[in-house]
Structure 1
């Protein structure tokens, strides 16, 4: 895989950063994307540490024109995008009757529409080469539901549907498309949820983690972002050429032994 190019959205922190480092360690050149103020520095550090080439983009995923520009600039630098990993995502928690429409639209746009736009932008190049990998970071919430997450659950279910269509349309061109469905990972997004629940229930962080957040996991621990990165790296390899259209849980047994703990 040395010398191939991977574009990873939301790759300056959390799961995306772990994926970026794993791919860099395997010799991929990278398009690093994110909105952190030090995003360009993060890209330079990865480039230096792993002796690869990077391109950094701070494209606003709410804007299809910026997504197209990100892909155009990446192709201009590298000439190809071999692997696309749609990882960027946002969350908002609210009861349905109070859920703001603007938050709904924002979450659907970032979590789902942006993945359609990036996939469309790289598609023709992958078809011409007759080789490509699209890996969508969905969620266990792409396969089941929890209360108060209407937009997030809808977007992640939609992402799995998009994955299946991409798999069908890419099957004759050497393009595979798969979704990874993590359980709870201790990302900044989840840490904010933990803090909100500590404030709401007036209990300790440890009680929130064990009794609320991880209650649905059979294995009472967070999913490692490095494990997600390793699975993504496998799906990007030639060894996974016959795996397409799948939704792969990595969720500590959540979906196998579905608990139904409430958040209220």
Structure 2
């Protein structure tokens, strides 16, 4: 394995194995770290790698206690959520000598790198290239409409997200081996304790840094429509011909404009005015512009 593209190909192949939560392959040494649900066969993972055209030298499971067990002694700090806030807290706590563990059931990195700033701004810039090719302001210069391979644009976005997740989170975690990563869902008990996938994890202090997720409103008939959240919209393989955006906030507006520039027919439905949490003049100016 000699390049990042090979590493991404392995991650894609392994990620298609049922029960695999995450795969992170380092091109430099050809090592893949795979997080999977209980019962996933290492042979199935190895077979997926071979089917992608790569050789498997060896497969080993993490020893009992690696990434899955905080040990018998109580942690000084258990952090629920392994996004930017959780990582910052874990690193600082370790610098102060605390015994720390992070709990995460999904992708490392939280909102920004996975479903927020990085993917949205990547798509915004790609759509801007399409827009500027046809709206450049020079009457004497004419371009043909750009050929848009939407699936390739989404794949580029996925690759960038994977690269930054590796560099900003997995590599950081590897550089701080004293910070433990527990995979699973944390639940707070009535007695103040914490369980991770039903297993007690003793901790003197708990920091909740879980972030948030998009809310789907209870609108009659909405459940029968083909609805997606902002997270799902940025990971579609096919560009929608028509898109109705519920909400006139900045997330809805930037994604609405992005898909309009990609060629979708977009309608924004706002309950009051655009950018209702900002100065009225801003929303009015945007309404005129759009």
The answer to whether TM tops 0.5 is no
Q: State the structure with more CA Rg.
A: 2
Which structure shows the bigger proportion of residues in helix conformation? 1
TM-score, length of structure 1 as denominator length: 0.27
TM-score, structure 2 length as denominator?
0.25
